[in-house]
Chain A
Amino acid sequence: MKKRQFYNKNYLEYVKGISPKTNEKRSLFRAFIVGGFICCIGQAVRYALEGIFQLKGDELSAYVSLVMIFLGAFLTGLGVYDRIGKFAGGGSIVPITGFANSVVSPAMEFKTEGYIYGTAAKMFIVAGPIIVFGVAGSVLVGLVYYVGYMIF
């Protein structure tokens, strides 16, 4: 009995040593680095579009998100983005490129079910809720502000 406990203890220590806690700090660091790096790419795209096409204000930021979504969708298609995702975790999910990834990834996966009920429908598995909550939230904000401007 004693011997058995001894082995269990060893095994538990072995399990502890191998996985979670050491990886947690590293995953935070990786998310920070990759997320920051993707935002820097966005900033570089911003400077480039500003310099080349003389864009300004809302138009400029709209084209920046266009380019970032293009990059995210393209890299997902090539299979590169999923590798970045394995490395970066949250660092690759939260940027807008991760939104593009969440559109393309299931769309490719379910292509075998056809181009309508497979690709076109499954595109919105993750993006659907984002659009639903985003649009509903913006309408709510708009109505509250409209009523606010009417009263005050």
Chain B
Amino acid sequence: MVLEIILTFLKAFAVGGAICLIAQLLINYTKITSGKILVIFLLSGLVLQAFGVYQFIVDFAGAGATVPISGFGYLLAKGAMEGAKESLFKAITGGITAAGMGITAAIVFGYIFAVIFHSRSKKN
């Protein structure tokens, strides 16, 4: 049991780290800005899941695959694919329903913390 948990952490570390390493390679060797990198990783997660590949990475690595932004794309595609089984309505809304928590959290926490805290870069 303990060994299993340690192994899960190791897998999450390796896969999550590897995804970030690919991002750093893009930063170092191309002129892609960080905003574009986020979009690229989101879309690659979405496309990989549309072909059914990302599910295997998630099953293997757990949080190592879901915490990076590509996991967000995976969630969007997965929701849409599951909704498509039921109706046209759920095929259209399924993606944003699945990703609803992430988007809501980002907007609500984002706005609250932006109002509470002040930008530090100007003070330093």
Q: Which of B1-60 contact A (CB under 8 A)?
A: 5, 8-9, 12-28, 34-35, 37-39, 41-43, 46-47, 49-50
Q: How large is the interface on A (under 10, 10 to 19, 20 to 34, 35 or more residues)?
A: 35 or more
Given A66-B101, A102-B38, CB of A93 within 8 Å of CB of B23: yes
A65 touches B101 (CB 8 A): yes
Q: In residues 76-98 of chain B, which contact A (Cβ within 8 Å)?
A: 76-77, 79-81, 83-85, 88, 90-92, 94-96, 98
Asked if B84 contacts A142 (CB within 8 A), the reply is yes
Residue pair B81, A142 in contact (C-beta under 8 Å): yes
Interface size on B, residues (CB 8 A): 82
Total CB contacts across the A-B interface at under 8 A: 284
Is A100 touching B24 in the complex (CB atoms < 8 A)?
no
Contact A96 B28 (CB under 8 A): no
> Whole-angstrom distance from the CB of B96 to the nearest CB of chain A?
5
Q: Are B12 and A28 in contact (CB under 8 A)?
A: no
Q: Is the interface of A mostly helix, strand, loop or mixed?
A: helix
Q: How far is the CB of B73 from chain A (nearest CB, A)?
A: 6
Closest Cβ of chain A to B8, distance in Å, is 6
Q: Which B residues are in CB contact (< 8 Å) with A24? A: 28
- Nearest Cβ distance between residue A67 and chain B, in whole angstroms? 9
Q: Are A109 and B24 in contact (CB under 8 A)?
A: no
Residues of A with C-beta under 8 A to B72: 65, 96, 99, 130, 134
Contact of A39 among B68, B101, B119 (CB under 8 A): B68
Contact of B16 among A44, A95, A126, A127 (CB under 8 A): A95
B16 touches A76 (CB 8 A): no
Let me know if A133 and B63 touch, CB within 8 A: no
**B85: shortest Cβ distance to chain A, in Å?**
6
Residues of A near B106 (CB, < 8 A) are 69, 73, 99-100, 103, 127
The answer to whether A62 touches B102, judged by C-beta atoms less than 8 angstroms apart, is yes
Contact status A134-B24, CB under 8 Å: no
B35→A138 contact, CB < 8 A: no
Knowing A40-B12, A142-B94, say if A129 contacts B114 (CB, 8 Å): no
For the complex, give the distance between the alpha carbons of A117 and B32 in Å. 28
Complex contact A137–B63 (CB within 8 A): no
Q: For the complex of A and B, list the 9 residue pairs with the smallest distance between their C-beta atoms, beginning with the closest.
A: A138-B95, A35-B20, A39-B16, A36-B17, A142-B80, A107-B114, A90-B23, A77-B117, A90-B24
A-B contacts, 10 of them at CB < 8 A, read A32-B18, A63-B101, A88-B20, A100-B105, A103-B110, A115-B115, A123-B107, A137-B46, A139-B95, A148-B84
